[in-house]
A and B are shown apart, each in its own frame.
Chain A
Amino acid sequence: MYTKKVLKHFRHPHNCGKINNPDGTGKVGNIVCGDVMWLYIKVGKNKKSQEFIKDIKFETFGCTAAIATSSIITDLAKGKTLKAALKINKDKIVKSLGGLPPVKLHCSVLAADALEEAVYNYLSKNKKEISIELQKHHQRIKKEKRLIEDKYKDWIKAEEKMHKNGKRINNKK
C-alpha cells in the first residue's frame, strides 16, 4: 500500500520535534480524519540577503502518510528561500514520496498547508508584505478549519447527548 520511501520517512522521520522560540508556526488539522500537524520554522538571511528557512521541525498526530509527508516537507523546505518554499505543493510532496494511496492524498495537502501557515505566521508577526495568493490560502485554511471544527463539534455533541440521555436514534425516513 505504501511506497518504500513513505515507510522510510515514517520509520525514521527527519526533523521531528519542536523549535523553541520559532519565527513561524503552522498549526493545521484535518479533522475529517483527525490528523494534526504542527510545523515550526526558523528564518535566516542568505548572502543575497534573501530570507530562507534556516531550520524546520514538525510534530504530527496522525497516520503513516501524515508522518511521512511531514518528514518529507521538512527536507524539501530546509535551506530554501521563503519564496521557493511556498512553491512546494501537494504534487511535489507526493512525487517526492514516490506516490501515496489515493485515500491518503489529503495528508499531502495538510503538509503543504502547514508550511504555508508557518510562513504566513512569520510574515504577519513581523509585519511583512504578504502576497495576495498567500493571504487567500490563509483565509481558505482558516475557513476550512472553522467549517470542519463546527461539523466536528456537532458530531461530538450528538454522540455525547445520545449517551447522556440513553436516547435512541430513530432512523425514521
Chain B
Amino acid sequence: MVKKSEKTKNKKGRIYLDYAATTPVDPRVAKTMLPYFTTKFGNPASSLHSFGQEVREALEESREIIASALGAKSGEIIFTASATESNNTALKGIAFANRNKGDHIIISSVEHDCVLNSAMWLQSQGFEVEKLPVDKYGLVNPKDVEKAIKKNTILVSIMHANNEIGTIEPIREIGKICRKNSVYFHTDAAQSFGKIPIDVNKMNIDLLTASSHKIYGPKGAALLFVRKGAKIEPLLHGGGQEFGLRPSTVNIPAIVGFAKAVEICQKEIHHVKSSKRGIPSKTKLFDGVKKESQRLTKLRNNLIKGVLEKIPDSHLNGHPKKRLPNNANFWFEFVEGESIVMTLDSYGIASSTASACSSPKLKPSHVLLACGLKPSQAHGSLRLSLGRWTKEKDIDYVLEILPKVVKKLRKISPFK
C-alpha cells in the first residue's frame, strides 16, 4: 500500500504524463496569440483595409513558418480545425477527386479512429478499403504495401507514428513505393510532427496531417499538407478560403499560436549549465527537435527500464527502439487499465489506457489487438506519454508509485 505521506506530498504538484492526448499551451505561444483576439481581430479575407491586411500577413507568415518546418511550400499548407478534419479531408477529398482513376484505398490496421472511420465510411460509399496487418510491434511492412497496390489503387494512408504505442512507421520506404506506383501517399503525423524530423520531399509524402495542440499550441488549429498538383476535393464549400480547400473564416489566433508552437519546437533556446571551469550558465541555440527528443528519450528509457524491472509480469507495447521519444506503453498481467489510471490519478499522476472498460464501445484497443495482444491482455494496458515539462524526478515518482498500484490491484484480482 502507498503511504499517506506520499499522497499528501503529491497533492501539491500533479504530474501530467498524458502529453500524447494533449499538451498545455506554452506561455510564449499564449502571449503571441493574445493580440489576435482583441486588437488584431480583422478578417484576412477583408484585405482592402489595414485591419484585414495585418491579419492576412500574420496568416501567411504562419503558413510559411509551418511549411518550412515540413520542407514544403507555403501554398501547400491548408489550415483546418483539427487533425480529424485534416484526415477526413485527405481521405475523402482524394477518394472523390480520383474516383475516375480507381476506387481502392490502402490503410493500416493501427490507424487513428478518424482515418479508420473515414475509410470505413468510404467503403460504405462503394470504395474498396484494404487494411494492412502489422507485426507485433505495430510496424507495417513496406513490402505489404507494394503487394497491396493494384491498378485501381488511388491512395495509401499510413500514419507516421502511432498514437497509442508510439511505433514509428517506415513511411520513407512506403512513400517511395507509392511514388513509384503513382499512388497518392497520405500520412497522419499528428503524434510525430514537432517531435521527430519530417521532410515531405525526402519522404515522398503527398498529403500530411499535423495538429497544434499536440505540440504546445492551442486546440482548434491543425494542418493538411497537400502537394502542389494533387487532385483533391474539399469537404466544405464556401467562400474560397485556404485555396478553396477549406472555406471558413480562418481561426487566426489559433493559427498564429500553432506557428509559434512550431517555431519553439524547432529552435528552442536551451539554457545549458556548463560544469567546465565553473561557468554558471550559457545560452546556446540548438536544433530544438533533436535536443528535446534526446532528453525525452533518455527519460522515457529510464521509465521503461524501471517499470519492466520493478513490476513482475509487465510487458512493453510497441517497438523498443522505433518509437516516439515521449511514448511508453505497457500491459500488466491480471489487472485492468482503467483501474490503474484511476488509482494513479489519486496520487496525482495523469495517464491513459486503451482497455475495453475505458472505451465507450467497451471494445479493447484495435491497435493492441492488431499487434497480436489478446483482448484480456489489452485489458491491462497503460500509456505514459512525456513532454516538455517532464522532469527526472517525475519519472522517479512514477517508478515509486506504479509498482505499488499494480501490486494493490493484483491483490484484488482473482488472477495472480
* Chain A interface residues toward B at CB < 8 A: 2, 7, 10-11, 13, 16-17, 27, 31-38, 59-67, 103-104, 106, 152, 155-156, 159-160, 162-163, 166-173
Contacts and interface: CB of A to CB of B under 8 A. Distances in A.
Interface string B113-138: 00000000001001011111100100
Interface stretch (B176-184, B222-230, B278-286, B408-416): B408-416
A167 B109 CA distance: 12
Chain A's interface: helix, strand, loop or mixed, by majority? mixed
A83 B164 CA distance: 48
A64 B335 CA distance: 11
21 contacts: A7-B346, A32-B356, A33-B356, A33-B362, A34-B355, A34-B356, A34-B364, A34-B379, A36-B414, A59-B414, A61-B334, A61-B414, A104-B357, A152-B375, A159-B369, A159-B370, A159-B374, A166-B144, A168-B130, A168-B132, A171-B128
A32 B357 contact: no
A62 B353 CA distance: 13
A167 to B, nearest CB: 7
A59 B130 contact: no
B300 to A, nearest CB: 27
Contacts of A162: 133
Nearest to B358: A63
Contacts of B335: 61
B336 A66 contact: yes
A33 B357 contact: yes
Interface stretch (B14-22, B23-31, B92-100, B337-345): B337-345
A11 B129 CA distance: 45
Contacts of B336: 34-35, 61-63, 66
Residue among A16, A37, A62, A173 with the most chain B CB within 10 A? A62
Nearest to B129: A171
Nearest to A159: B369
Contacts of A65: 357
A6 to B, nearest CB: 10
A170 B133 CA distance: 10
Contacts of B362: 32-33, 103, 106
